[in-house]
Amino acid sequence: MAARRASIKDVALRAGVDPKTVSNVLHQRPVVAPATRERVEQAIEDLGYRANLVGRRLREGRTGILLLAVPEMTSPYFAALATKIIAEAQRHEHLVVIEETQSDPDREEAVLKGSKLHFADGIMLATAALDPELVQKYATRTPLVLIGERVPDPLLNHVVIDNVQSAREATQHLLDQGVRSPLFLGAPTRPYGPGALRSKGFIESLHAAGLPIDDDQLVPAAFSRAEGAAAINRVIAGGTEFDAIVAAVDVLALGAMHALRQHGLSVPDDVLVLGWDNTEDGAYANPTLTSVAPDIDAVARALVTNLLARIDAPTSTDLESQVISHQLIIRESSIRPSHAG
């Protein structure tokens, strides 16, 4: 028969104190004499006592569970981010449940409705399909922080990088290599989200350089390797000439590089390529992939701390969104041999 779990009363009895004193020790309150604290801590160790955090939170009307909803866990970026978020939540004595939405608007809406996930204290959501108006509609039901999505509402917090500025920097890097006819791969099918913002920075950079831009240079593609390869195959078949690819995410860039090789085009000799997210796959690609790198540790910290703050103050208008720093990691894929060294 399994042994009964030790309680606060058991600890108090063994240490010769009252349960309130044990509680004071557990909460590290400075009202306990050192000798008494030592006796209680020894009793905790002897009995193997573990605080019942679930029970405590339920009495407070909380579960200590945070929901992370992302389009797909096969995405290297979201997989890496989830790992960081889980570790950060553990520091705050919270658990993380992950929901994969597959960029399905019905599944994203179900997350916001909370019909199946009512036990979560709050939600971290990377929406790929919902209109901002629909996000706003459900935002007051459960504390919510959006990952990389800007919706103008004082009750919504966002954790983002500066997508427009990072796109300007990335595109300018290619222009400095002599590029004159780049493509933007991953052009949006909707007027919001990271693809829209990054394509905006791309267009602004070309305009600032006095370069023309045609619709053919903005190439739609869903965020996957297969879509990246298929899109570049279509571009080449259509006869559009280009000398560089600015891909909205690394997985698109990797798919594009695969298609270029199949057509006998070399990276970086014939075409320069870069992406976003600084994924491990890109760092070990051949050639290695230049990428815009968000500070993923800072993203995870901001998501968890912002969500916990929103849980504590659901209707506060004083909680601010956070823009996380980024840097362009320059590797082989975006440096022409004549510019190397």
Domains 65-161+299-325 and 163-295+328-339 equal at CATH topology level? yes
pLDDT at residue 121 greater than cutoff 60 = yes
Burial group, residue 120, by CB count within 10 angstroms (0-12, 13-18, 19+)? buried
Which residue is associated with the tokens 């290695």?
Answer: 288
Candidates 245, 258, 266, 269; CA nearest to 174 is 245
11: left (phi over 0), alpha (psi -120 to 50) or beta: alpha
Which positions ≥6 away from 101 have C-beta within 8 Å? 69, 70, 71, 107, 108, 111, 128, 129
pLDDT band at residue 238 under the 50/70/90 scheme: very high
Average pLDDT over residues 197-209: 96
More confidently predicted of 321 and 114: 321
More confidently predicted of 234 and 321: 234
**pLDDT value of residue 103:** 84
pLDDT band at residue 30 under the 50/70/90 scheme: confident
Q: Residue 182 — φ and ψ, nearest 5°?
A: -80, 155
What amino acid is encoded at 24 in this protein? N
CATH architecture of 163-295+328-339: 3-Layer(aba) Sandwich (3.40)
State how far the alpha carbon of 326 is from the alpha carbons of 155, 166, 277, 291, in Å.
26, 7, 9, 10
CATH architecture of 65-161+299-325: 3-Layer(aba) Sandwich (3.40)
- Nearest 5°: the CA angle 328, 247, 243 is 95
Distance, in Å, from the CA atom of 105 to the CA atom of 108, rounded to the nearest integer, reads 5
DSSP reduced 3-state for 190: coil
Q: What is the pLDDT of residues 289-327, one digit of tens each?
A: 999 999 999 999 999 999 999 998 877 777 788 999 999
Characterize 171-209 residue by residue with b for buried, 16 or more Cβ atoms within 10 angstroms of its Cβ, and e for exposed.
Answer: bbbbbebebebbbbbbbbeeeebbbbbbbbbbbebbeee
Distance, in Å, from the CA atom of 206 to the CA atom of 210, rounded to the nearest integer, reads 6
pLDDT band at residue 67 under the 50/70/90 scheme: very high
pLDDT at residue 152 greater than cutoff 80 = no
All structural domains of the chain with their residue ranges: 65-161+299-325, 163-295+328-339
Kindly tell me the number of DSSP H helices and DSSP E strands found in the chain.
Answer: 13, 12
pTM: 0.79
